[in-house]
Amino acid sequence: MTFDKKQFEEIIDAFTVTKEGLREVAADFRYDLRQGLKDPAQSSLRMLKSYIGLPTGDEQGEYLALDLGGTNVRVLRIRLDGEGRFKVLKKVAKPLRKEGAYDYIGKGSTATQMFDFLASLVDDAIDGERQETFLLGHTFSFPSEQSNLYNARLIVWTKEFATAGVEGEVVNDLLKAALHRRGIENVEPTAVINDTVAVLLAAAYEYGDTYIGSIYATGHNTCYLEPYAGKVEKPMILNLESGGFMKLVPNRFDAALDAASEKPGEQRLEKMASGRYMGELFGMALAELLGESKNYGFTSIDMSAILVDDTEPLETAKKIVASKTGHVLGADDLALAKRLARAILVRSARLVTASYVGIIWQLAGDGGIQKQHIAIDGSVYAKMPGAKECITATLSELLGEDAEKIDTTLAHDGSGLGAAIAAAISTK
């Protein structure tokens, strides 16, 4: 099998965003931000209020942190020691879906099953203790409408979650009910935050100059500290739900992926950029080149393995492609498959960076761009070969010399630490 070169180049083109195109994305993102500040209904960004600002770094005490947002759920006991220091005392982690055993996120699963499972993990994290009181911070990584730090109502599932009975509900009420069912009366959920907010809190706890927090993983989203300059409101972190940014031009693969997804017409940026979908896009483009219409089930982990393969002639890539598609590709086609994976990752990182630039421009206003960190966590940023470098290069492309003022930092495990910080802030 040899790929049609013309068809291949056309596919690469479909995944390429030019410099001008990218500037437009950044400008449109900033426009939607501004519109969203006036009236979220006029913007594709939800701009959800978090009812929390940045920590001082002096928060202290022992807290529970529940982190629910991807395929793995974690409960941590964390001690905050102030001055940006902390210690993880205990960590319990389990997948929400285990092939052949259970599934709390697929179609047919219910809120009761999911939250009873979460309560059992909380129980493990406190070693069955029923006396000592624990305050719990909850990182819940889905679009939620909040009216205060405790009260977060899930608007809609993303990332293909389909558990019935959670949309429209106050998630911490569901958690409390499950804790009570299990006889746990000494754990008090006091704060719910998005994972982007958690990442920003975690980074700001350790060092200053951080106003933007982002997740670049299974899902994608960014938050920032809105200063509300000149307004009566106090500075507050806004969860943009930037995965829902719509001012992007989908190609035919994006359109087909969207049509087959749980929530067609939603989460355009996320579907073009996040880890949950990149492997699928890769598989769809490969299927076209192979003249088939199958879903091969590629993941972003497969793409990473293909991208790091430096063997001659791409032995790992060959095995992965053969196991998923049933086709044993020759050296030339394997090199093209690797180029395809790279093109999809590069487009993803460029779009994500353009959204950061939109926020940086908005924060700078009419003044200069401030020296700052952008806190990022997530498997794509941390593990996909070339993702971080591409973000750095794209910042330079869009910001020129000002890019030197921006440092992207990995806020590893920020979701857990951020939840503990939010629980600490909830006591103030």
- Minimum distance from residue 84 beta carbon to ligand BGC (Å): 23
Compute the distance between CA of residue 100 and CA of residue 85 in angstroms, rounded to an integer: 41
User: In the complex with ligand BGC, which residue's Cβ is closer, 188 or 262?
Assistant: 262
Residue 387 CB, nearest approach to ligand BGC (Å): 15
SS3 of 124, please?
A: helix
Compare residues 84 and 275 and give the one whose CB is closer to ligand BGC: 275
Rank residues 50 and 190 by Cβ distance to ligand BGC and give the closer one: 50
Region 332-391 residues binding ligand BGC, contact defined as CB under 6 A: none
Q: Round to whole Å and give the CA distance between 354 and 34.
A: 16
CB of 222 to ligand BGC, least distance (A): 8
Distance CA 156, CA 266 (A): 10
For ligand BGC, the binding residue among 189, 219, 283, 416 (CB under 6 A) is 219
**Does the protein bind ligand BGC through residue 67 (CB under 6 A)?**
no
Nearer to ligand BGC, 69 or 84 (CB): 69
| H-state helical runs in 212-330 | 252-259, 268-273, 275-290, 300-308, 315-325
Cβ neighbours of 290 (radius 10 Å):
18
Residue 401's alpha-carbon distances to 125, 381, 397, in angstroms, are 48, 23, 9
Looking up tokens 């964390």 gives 78
DSSP output for 57-75: S--EEEEEEEEESSSEEEE
Q: Report the nearest approach of ligand BGC to the CB of residue 132 (Å).
A: 31
Distance between CA atoms of 12 and 3, rounded to whole angstroms? 13
Residue from 254, 270, 280, 309 touching ligand BGC (CB under 6 A): that is: 270
Q: Is residue 416 a contact point for ligand BGC (CB under 6 A)?
A: no
The stretch near ligand BGC (CB under 6 A) out of 54-62, 97-105, 140-148, 345-353 is 140-148
Identity of the residue, 102 or 157, whose beta carbon is nearer to ligand BGC in the bound complex: 157
Phi, psi of 236 (to 5 degrees): -150, 145
Between 159 and 350, whose beta carbon lies closer to ligand BGC? 159
Q: Does 221 bind ligand BGC (CB under 6 A)?
A: yes
Rounded to whole angstroms, the Cα distance separating 9 from 5 reads 6
Segment 148-207, which members bind ligand BGC (CB under 6 A)? Answer: 158-159, 194-196
> Binding residues for ligand BGC, per CB under 6 A?
69, 141-143, 158-159, 194-196, 215, 219-221, 241, 243, 270
